[in-house]
């Protein structure tokens, strides 16, 4: 197992941080020292200067040929010269140390290059999206992402530019959902209310809280309006909350409590949280989730799922590549577009089970379901039929008396034999 490539980089970073802190301490103390000396000199020069207002400029005073006596004693002048030389030496030492820091910083870059993979070419599937049947799927997934982000016009443009009419049904569905989300963002509950009413039955089936959340926010909006809305708020609660009492009793009780503070405003009361924008964010999340489920769209953006799966798989693939460096692997993907090993993508990326027959290399369908052999190995029904037929052909010559019952099928993975009737269908 390769060592963690972050360790040497971290060591280099620690070295630089150490250098920085030493640099800071030493530089600051020598600069403070120099600053103090310069201040002293400045004071000395200022005191030596004649108080004459016309020659307040330091240079003029020093250069003045008219001054009869020198302003500073020779000892003071040599003191100034010594201090200036010290300033020069300190500044060159500071800049030299600074240059030294650069070399330590650049070492980090070199260390990253040395320990981390910079080329991912071996992992890319060069032809995956070049085929006619796969390219539209790539555009579709990008359009799907754009629509989910509310960038409908960009998605339309992409479709136009790619000369593809991608799943227009999906686009229309998303257009409707987006319009409602935009309205919700603007504080308009009506389009969502209308949608919820149209899909009321389905929402009830999945025990969605969307309808309640919509009415709750409509009620809160009335409460936020202040004293003038008291009657309207009470009437609204009476008209709309009753069907939700069995499932949302405590939430209704809480929200009704806010009526007490309607005249004074909810700010600073235990109900101030009802006015927060997070209430709307939560409603938008619930609406998007329910709308996606009801319309048969996945809740997660497929592009995000792909990227997250790729990021999970990347370190494992890098390790394999490092281990195989000697064998000059140019591409990880097999001819069957499969990766060399199976990579666990974590529970978040578990979806419905799809059985892929190891013999026929096909995904199971309703007409070709997975069959469990008595040994526990699973193959598709088509594979089982093929094995049975193959055995019939082999044994057919032996005796015409060989009946269907006598045909034995051997598991392709272990020595166990069984009759074609013994395997059982698996239903996921
Ligand atoms: Zn077996």
Q: Check whether residue 173 and residue 111 sit in a common domain.
A: no
pLDDT by residue (tens digit) across 228-283?
Answer: 888 899 999 999 999 999 989 999 999 899 888 888 888 888 888 888 888 898 99
- Answer yes or no: is 349 within a domain: no
Q: Please check the confidence at residue 157 and state whether its pLDDT lies above 70.
A: yes
Q: Check whether residue 97 and residue 172 sit in a common domain.
A: no
Q: Check whether residue 172 and residue 278 sit in a common domain.
A: yes
Q: What is the pLDDT of residue 394?
A: 57
CA of 117 to the centre of ligand 1 (A): 41
Q: pLDDT band for position 190 (50/70/90)?
A: very high
- Answer yes or no: is 299 within a domain: no
Q: Check whether residue 102 and residue 214 sit in a common domain.
A: no
> What are the distances in angstroms from CA 26 to CA 34, 53, 93, 171?
12, 42, 11, 64
Q: Check whether residue 172 and residue 286 sit in a common domain.
A: yes
Q: pLDDT band for position 422 (50/70/90)?
A: very high
- Kindly provide the b/e burial profile for residues 276-288, where b requires at least 16 CB atoms within 10 angstroms of the residue's own CB: eeeebeebbebbb
Pairing of strands 370-372, 424-425: antiparallel
Burial class, 305, CB count within 10 angstroms (exposed 0-12 / middle 13-18 / buried 19+): middle
CA of 393 to the centre of ligand 1 (A): 22
Q: What is the pLDDT of residue 396?
A: 52
Helix (H) or strand (E) holding 120, with range, is none
- Answer yes or no: is 321 within a domain: no
d(CA 209, CA 216): 10
pLDDT by residue (tens digit) across 96-145?
Answer: 988 888 888 999 999 998 888 777 777 777 777 788 888 888 888 888 88
CA of 381 to the centre of ligand 1 (A): 15
Compute the average pLDDT of residues 29-37: 91
pLDDT by residue (tens digit) across 323-357?
Answer: 776 555 666 777 777 777 888 888 878 777 788 99
- Residue ending a domain, among 250, 279, 294, is 294
CA of 167 to the centre of ligand 1 (A): 43
Q: What is the pLDDT of residue 14?
A: 94
Q: Check whether residue 171 and residue 110 sit in a common domain.
A: no
Comparison of pLDDT for 70 and 39, the residue scoring more: 39
Q: Check whether residue 268 and residue 187 sit in a common domain.
A: yes
Provide the greatest CA pair distance for the chain.
141
CA of 392 to the centre of ligand 1 (A): 19
Count of structural domains, the chain: 3
CA of 357 to the centre of ligand 1 (A): 14
Backbone angles phi, psi at 370, to 5 degrees: -70, 140
Q: What is the pLDDT of residue 191?
A: 94
Q: Please check the confidence at residue 13 and state whether its pLDDT lies above 90.
A: yes
- Answer yes or no: is 272 within a domain: yes
Sign of the Cα pseudo-torsion (373, 375, 376, 379, in order): negative
pLDDT by residue (tens digit) across 49-79?
Answer: 766 555 455 555 555 555 556 677 888 888 8
- Answer yes or no: is 344 within a domain: no
- Answer yes or no: is 420 within a domain: yes
d(CA 111, CA 105): 10
CA of 390 to the centre of ligand 1 (A): 17
Burial class, 347, CB count within 10 angstroms (exposed 0-12 / middle 13-18 / buried 19+): exposed
Of the listed ranges 14-28, 32-46, 115-129, 297-311, the least confidently predicted one is 115-129
Q: What is the pLDDT of residue 205?
A: 87
> Please, are residues 404 and 333 in contact by the beta-carbon 8 Å criterion?
no
CA of 215 to the centre of ligand 1 (A): 58
Q: What is the pLDDT of residue 132?
A: 81
- Residue ending a domain, among 115, 133, 155, is 115
Comparison of pLDDT for 294 and 118, the residue scoring more: 294
CA of 415 to the centre of ligand 1 (A): 7
> Please, are residues 196 and 210 in contact by the beta-carbon 8 Å criterion?
yes
CA of 363 to the centre of ligand 1 (A): 20
CA of 378 to the centre of ligand 1 (A): 8
Q: Check whether residue 182 and residue 277 sit in a common domain.
A: yes
Q: Check whether residue 111 and residue 173 sit in a common domain.
A: no
Q: Check whether residue 87 and residue 20 sit in a common domain.
A: yes
Q: What is the pLDDT of residue 348?
A: 78
CA of 422 to the centre of ligand 1 (A): 13
d(CA 253, CA 271): 12
- Answer yes or no: is 94 within a domain: yes
- Residue ending a domain, among 277, 294, 311, is 294
Q: Check whether residue 93 and residue 176 sit in a common domain.
A: no
Backbone angles phi, psi at 95, to 5 degrees: -70, -30
CA of 386 to the centre of ligand 1 (A): 16
- Answer yes or no: is 408 within a domain: yes
Comparison of pLDDT for 120 and 405, the residue scoring more: 120
Q: Check whether residue 268 and residue 206 sit in a common domain.
A: yes
Q: Which domain holds residue 35?
A: 6-115
pLDDT by residue (tens digit) across 348-401?
Answer: 787 777 889 989 888 888 899 999 999 999 999 999 999 988 877 655 555 454
């Amino acid at each position: 197992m390769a060592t963690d490539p972050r360790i040497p980089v971290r060591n280099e970073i620690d070295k630089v941080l150490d250098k920085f802190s030493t640099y800071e301490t030493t530089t600051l103390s020598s600069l403070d020292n120099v600053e103090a000396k310069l201040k002293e000199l400045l004071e000395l020069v200022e005191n030596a200067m004649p108080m004459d207002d016309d020659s307040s400029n330091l240079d003029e005073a020093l250069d003045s040929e008219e001054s009869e006596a020198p302003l500073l004693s020779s000892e003071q002048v040599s003191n100034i010269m010594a201090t200036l030389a010290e300033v020069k030496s300190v500044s060159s030492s500071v800049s030299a140390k600074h240059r030294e820091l650069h070399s330590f910083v650049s070492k980090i870059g070199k260390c990253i290059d040395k320990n981390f993979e910079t080329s991912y070419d071996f992992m890319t599937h060069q032809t995956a999206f070049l085929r006619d049947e796969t390219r539209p799927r790539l555009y579709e997934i990008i359009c799907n992402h754009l629509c989910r982000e509310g960038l409908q016009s960009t998605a339309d443009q992409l479709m136009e530019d790619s000369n593809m009419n991608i799943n227009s049904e999906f686009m229309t569905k998303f257009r409707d959902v987006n319009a409602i989300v935009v309205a919700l963002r603007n504080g308009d509950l009506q389009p969502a209310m209308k949608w919820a009413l149209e899909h009321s039955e389905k929402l009830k089936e999945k025990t969605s809280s969307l309808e309640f959340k919509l009415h709750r926010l409509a009620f809160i909006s009335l409460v936020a309006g202040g004293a003038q809305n008291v009657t309207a708020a009470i009437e609204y609660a009476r008209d709309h909350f009753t069907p939700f009492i069995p499932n949302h009793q405590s939430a209704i009780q809480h929200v009704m409590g806010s009526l007490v503070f309607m005249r004074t405003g909810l700010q600073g009361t235990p109900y101030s949280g009802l006015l927060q924008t997070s209430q709307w964010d939560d409603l938008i999340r619930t609406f998007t989730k329910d709308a996606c489920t009801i319309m048969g769209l996945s809740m997660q953006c497929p592009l995000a799922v792909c990227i997250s799966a790729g990021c999970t798989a990347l370190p494992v693939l890098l390790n394999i590549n490092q281990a195989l460096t000697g064998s000059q692997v140019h591409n990880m993907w097999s001819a069957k577009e499969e990766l060399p090993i199976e990579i666990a993508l974590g529970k978040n990326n578990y979806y419905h089970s799809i059985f892929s027959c190891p013999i026929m290399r096909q995904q199971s369908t309703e007409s070709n379901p997975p069959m469990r052999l008595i040994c526990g190995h699973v193959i598709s029904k088509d594979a089982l039929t093929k094995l049975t037929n193959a055995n019939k052909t082999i044994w057919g010559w032996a005796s015409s008396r060989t009946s269907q019952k006598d045909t034995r099928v051997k598991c392709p993975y272990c020595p166990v034999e069984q009759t074609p009737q013994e395997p059982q269908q698996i239903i996921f």
